Amino acid sequence: MRRFIYLLLICLLSACALGGQQTDKSKSAFELSPALSHAQLREAFAALPGVLVPESEPLRVLFPAGVLFASGSVLPMPGGSGMLDSLVDLLKESNLDWRFILRAASGEGTEYDQGLAAARVKILKTYFKDVGLNVRTLRFQAVAEAGPLLEIQNLK
């Protein structure tokens, strides 16, 4: 039994050590060509897990509760950083102007919900700044209302 535990521990440590490496064959599905068309952008956003992209114009990307944020949480859900990385790649590729609307409707009152939405804005801004996205070109809005917890709108 002890040998099995040692073997398991070695396998886990090896997996952790190799997990951060990325080869050319395993590039992200969201890496796009430099000339990104509007249709390609819509398709790439729709490929993000759980994300809704209505066919209406201008382009809107909706993140319902449980996709990036849980209903009452400020921090993204586990695995959210991977989705945010893919989102950042798409935003950089698009060269478009975007508005981020972060919503909260917890039932705890408007003041609480506004604070929750504002905290999510702060988290997103900090994350985007840390990964090299120019947050001065993005617009952010915190709203105390029901709806998708994150909505991204193209402003052009």
Find the range with the poorest average confidence among 33-47, 107-121, 124-138, 142-156: 33-47
pLDDT tens-digit profile of 71-105? Answer: 888 888 787 878 888 889 888 888 788 999 999 99
Torsional class of 95: left (φ above 0), alpha (ψ -120 to 50), beta (otherwise): left
Please say if the pLDDT value at position 150 is more than 90.
yes
- The closest of 74, 65, 82, 64 to 28, measured between CA atoms, is 82
Please say if the pLDDT value at position 60 is more than 50.
yes
pLDDT at position 2 is 47
Span 51-156 CATH architecture: 2-Layer Sandwich (3.30)
Provide, rounded to the nearest whole percent, the portion of the chain with pLDDT above 70. Answer: 77
| Helices 38-46 and 80-94, packing angle to 10 deg | 180
Find the range with the poorest average confidence among 25-29, 55-59, 99-103, 152-156: 25-29
Distance CA(11)–CA(15), nearest Å, equals 6
Please say if the pLDDT value at position 10 is more than 70.
no
Indicate the domain borders of the chain: 51-156
Please say if the pLDDT value at position 117 is more than 90.
yes
Collapsing DSSP to helix, strand or coil, 153 comes out as strand
Q: Write out the two tokens for 112.
A: 């609480």
pLDDT band at 134, cuts 50/70/90? Answer: confident
Distance CA(67)–CA(59), nearest Å, equals 19
Long-range contacts of 64-69 (CB under 8 A, 24+ apart): 64/148, 64/149, 65/148, 65/149, 67/149, 67/150, 68/149, 68/150, 69/120, 69/149, 69/150
For the chain, the C-alpha Rg in angstroms (whole number) is 19
